Amino acid sequence: MSRIGNAPINIPAGVSVSVKDSTVSVEAKGITLTQKVSDGINVEITENVITLTRSSNSKDQRANHGLYRSLISNMVVGLSKGWSKKLELVGVGFRANHRGQVLDLALGFSHNISIQIPTEVKVNTISEKGKNPIVELFSHDKQLVGMIASKIRSFRKPEPYKGKGVRYLGEVVRKKAGKTAAK
């Protein structure tokens, strides 16, 4: 029995959900997110509550039941509150600036890295003296925010000896002992 798949999704005020064929559309503030649902998963909307049921108890159906419930829930939450990720740049000389939708990162390479951020994602950089620079990403699409944050982190992952690199805000990096610890 799927605990996640059986949980109902409450629709907040200002968000409208519609199901046509096997496509779920969530709309609010002039923004529409859609998700195609596989066959065998039924989506029902009654009195501002979305419930998902499966037609059989096969392994594939059980897996998709919880998956599509989570994806639809993420769309509803994204259009009502939004999703954000914060990245911290830890290292001497690491900087972040943005001009419109272009994010410019100085991560200790011989050149700066410029990345074009999609228009659906809002980007903000915070640089305070004596603190590590922070890059904030905000969007209504959880998958898009996570993908862009992962892409930025992949440019310089945190290394285990000094802890330098790009990490999620609040991420704990376990440090290893260097060569001197062996004596």
pLDDT digits (tens, 9 = 90+) for 24-60: 999 998 999 999 999 889 999 998 999 999 888 888 8
pLDDT at res. 126: 94
**Lowest-confidence region among 11-15, 114-118, 178-182:** 178-182
pLDDT at res. 29: 86
**Is residue 110 packed enough to be buried (19+ CB in 10 Å), middle (13-18) or exposed (0-12)?**
exposed
Q: Which of 37, 61, 80 is the last residue of a domain?
A: 80
The range of the structural domain enclosing residue 150 comes to 83-168
Model confidence band, residue 180 (pLDDT cutoffs 50, 70, 90) = confident
Model confidence band, residue 181 (pLDDT cutoffs 50, 70, 90) = low
Model confidence band, residue 183 (pLDDT cutoffs 50, 70, 90) = low
CATH number, domain containing residue 143: 3.90.930.12
Are residue 60 and residue 103 in the same domain, yes or no?
no
Edge to edge, the sheet with strand 113-116 lists 95-99, 102-106, 113-116
- Residue reference for tokens 């272009």: 102
Q: Which of 80, 96, 112 is the last residue of a domain?
A: 80
Q: Is residue 49 part of a domain?
A: yes
* Helix or strand run (H / E) with residue 63: helix 59-80
Q: Is residue 182 part of a domain?
A: no
Residue 147 pLDDT greater than 70, yes or no: yes
Q: Is residue 181 part of a domain?
A: no
Total domains in the chain come to 2
Reference 9, options 60, 57, 81, 75; nearest CA is 75
Q: With contact defined as beta carbons under 8 Å apart, do 176 and 117 qualify?
A: no
pLDDT at res. 177: 86
Q: Which positions ≥6 away from 86 have C-beta within 8 Å?
A: 134, 135, 136, 137, 168, 169
Whole-number mean pLDDT of the chain?
91
Are residue 91 and residue 161 in the same domain, yes or no?
yes
Residue 133 pLDDT greater than 60, yes or no: yes
pLDDT at res. 2: 62
Are residue 61 and residue 102 in the same domain, yes or no?
no
Q: Is residue 145 part of a domain?
A: yes
Are residue 71 and residue 52 in the same domain, yes or no?
yes
Would you say the pTM of this structure is higher than 0.75?
A: yes
